[in-house]
């Protein structure tokens, strides 16, 4: 599939599609399917002295549980839950020093799949992949 075909398939608008990525961080994202051993890899990297951030879903859910929400309440509205995860991912990325070598357990592009599986419009997520931290 050519890049132009891919752009059309995911529905990128012309402004987003023409932005260039700047590789301006020392970050690495570990991604993969659920139960694919991402956490095992990250724990081994930690043992070797590298820093890593927990998966954002864990961070968000733990924050909500502390405030008295139940897991059922947190996950009741899948669209609101997925949007909250993206907002938390952006918050975490903006709070992380781009010059620091750090590993992330997942990143914003992972949310595209979760949106699609839930039958949600993933266009906003695609646009969020180009948030100002990484865009030109």
Tokens 């620091």 sit on residue: 100
E strands, the chain, are 27-30, 51-53, 102-105
Could you tell me the two tokens for 125? 């997520």
pLDDT by residue, tens only, the chain of 136 residues: 444 433 334 455 555 555 555 557 889 999 888 889 998 999 999 999 999 988 899 999 999 999 999 999 999 999 999 999 999 998 888 888 888 999 999 888 888 888 998 999 988 888 887 765 544 4
Q: Evaluate whether 113 touches 10 at the Cβ level (below 8 Å).
A: no
CA 53-29-96 angle, 5° bins: 45
Domain ranges across the chain: 26-128
* Beta bridge partner(s), residue 46: none
pTM over 0.85: no
């Amino acid at each position: 599939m050519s890049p132009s075909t891919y752009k059309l398939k995911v529905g990128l608008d012309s402004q987003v599609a023409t932005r260039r990525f700047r590789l301006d961080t020392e970050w690495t994202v570990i991604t993969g399917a659920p139960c694919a051993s991402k956490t095992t890899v990250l724990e081994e990297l930690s043992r070797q002295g590298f820093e890593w951030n927990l998966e954002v879903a864990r961070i968000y859910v733990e924050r909500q549980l502390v405030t008295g929400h139940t897991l059922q309440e947190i996950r009741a509205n899948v669209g609101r839950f997925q949007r909250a995860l993206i907002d938390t991912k952006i918050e975490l990325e903006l709070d992380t020093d781009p010059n620091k070598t750090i590993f992330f357990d997942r990143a914003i592009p992972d949310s595209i799949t979760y949106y699609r599986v839930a039958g949600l419009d993933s266009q906003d997520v695609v646009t969020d992949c180009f948030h100002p931290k990484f865009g030109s």
